[in-house]
Amino acid sequence: MADALGTLYAPLMVLSGVASICGNLLLLLVLLLNKELQTDTLGLTLSFCISDLALGLSTIPLGVYNSLTRPSRYSSEGAFCQGSGFLFLLLQTSSVHSLAWATVDKFTEICFALSYRAMWTAGCSRAVLVLVWAFGLATAASPLLGFGGYVYSESRFLCCPSFTPDNRLFVALWMSVGITAPILTVCSLYGYIVYVAGKQARRGTFMCNELHCYYVPAKNYLRSSVVMVSTSVCLLVCWLPYISVGLYETFSSQQSPAVISALSTWLVVTSAALNPWITCMTQIRYRAAVRGSVYRFIHMCSGRPLESRSQSSALHLDPAKAATRPPSSQTAETPTAETHRSPDCTDPPGPVFGKVFLDKLGGDPKDRPRTH
């Protein structure tokens, strides 16, 4: 049974490790090479990206090695085990909390677009980063100071927190404050944004630029909401088994089946691989940045100069049709006249909410067919 478990565990961890390293490296390059993505809150995205990348470079290879070699004597009290357990817990906690604060940032930008700049400044972002990593360091250092403990788990093939009745207080605090609270925050904020977006879709939205106004179809809101739903579902699927197994072992004094312990641990490290791909592939501004980076790289390798796109193509307009459309000064009485109203999420959704929601999370311009 142990041989079969190790044979299954190793390739799964290798797959997760490769996906985590490649995905987070891609996300880092996209963020660093595209200035339009470098906002005051860039550090929040970089924080969970670096945490996931470090998890893929350190903990996952160690789990693969242990599952293949299955060391018979692995001292839980040794410095190597204690250090690897500390790193595992630190990266887990900082990744989840950084993702939660990035979600809070996104929620503020979408629901309070007009006051967003005043609420989220560069100083505020730095303060949040300091708090996130200070909390992660304090949590991971607690078992080294006697509050909790790290042991080598033969079913997980890793040094991890000790899920025993002696450490129930530490496990309960870490699971509730360090893991469950940020995950529930992410799911709740995304759920509320999707709820308001549904109301906005039923109401309909007109958006205008300097050339024309167009109606945004309801399907754009549905496609944009998929980003948030997929992130929430992945978080729950990856973390709920691990949380359940840990709490069960801690408060029942019973060991879970080895297969369940191993798979729950694999799901947790898999979340580090899924986060960057969800961010890059489901948000249109990140997909556009990836395409632009690949486009520049191809032209740099081929030695050909980049072709500049005309303003009409950048706006996805037909110049012949655009000439017949009224200027923005003639559309002051269109339904977009209320776009200066504050889009507080506690109020009925308005055009500002719709514009920021679609610009932030998706909605291809080609899906905006009806002009007025």
Could you read off the pLDDT of 108-129 as tens digits, one per residue? 887 787 788 888 888 888 999 9
CB atoms within 10 A of CB 309: 9
Cross-strand pairs, 206: 215
Asked if residue 320 belongs to a domain, the reply is: no
Q: How far apart are CA 308 and CA 173, in angstroms?
A: 55
Asked if residue 234 belongs to a domain, the reply is: yes
**b/e code 202-236 from CB counts within 10 Å (16+ = b):** eeebbbbeebbbbebbbebbbbbbebbeebbebbe
Asked if residue 333 belongs to a domain, the reply is: no
Helix (H) or strand (E) holding 198: helix 181-203
Query: Using one digit for the tens of pLDDT, what is the confidence trace for 205-214?
Result: 655 556 665 5
pTM greater than 0.85 (yes/no): no
Torsion of CA 283, 99, 20, 274, to 10 degrees: -50
Asked if residue 25 belongs to a domain, the reply is: yes
Q: Which two tokens stand for residue 153?
A: 């788990």
More confident residue, 310 or 266: 266
Query: Using one digit for the tens of pLDDT, what is the confidence trace for 147-161?
Result: 999 999 888 889 999
Best CA proximity match to 224, nearest among 364, 352, 40: 364
More confident residue, 95 or 30: 95
Query: Using one digit for the tens of pLDDT, what is the confidence trace for 277-301?
Result: 777 666 667 777 777 777 776 777 7
pLDDT surpasses 50 at 344? no
Q: What is the CATH number of the domain that holds 187?
A: 1.20.1070.10
Q: Which two tokens stand for residue 163?
A: 């899920």
Average pLDDT, the chain: 77
Query: Using one digit for the tens of pLDDT, what is the confidence trace for 258-270?
Result: 899 999 999 999 9
Asked if residue 345 belongs to a domain, the reply is: no
pLDDT attached to residue 242: 94
CB atoms within 10 A of CB 130: 10
291, 259 Cβ separation under 8 angstroms:
no
Asked if residue 40 belongs to a domain, the reply is: yes
- Domain boundaries, position 149: 2-289
User: How many domains does the chain divide into?
Assistant: 1
Asked if residue 242 belongs to a domain, the reply is: yes
Q: How far apart are CA 307 and CA 291, in angstroms?
A: 14
Asked if residue 359 belongs to a domain, the reply is: no
Best CA proximity match to 275, nearest among 37, 99, 17: 99
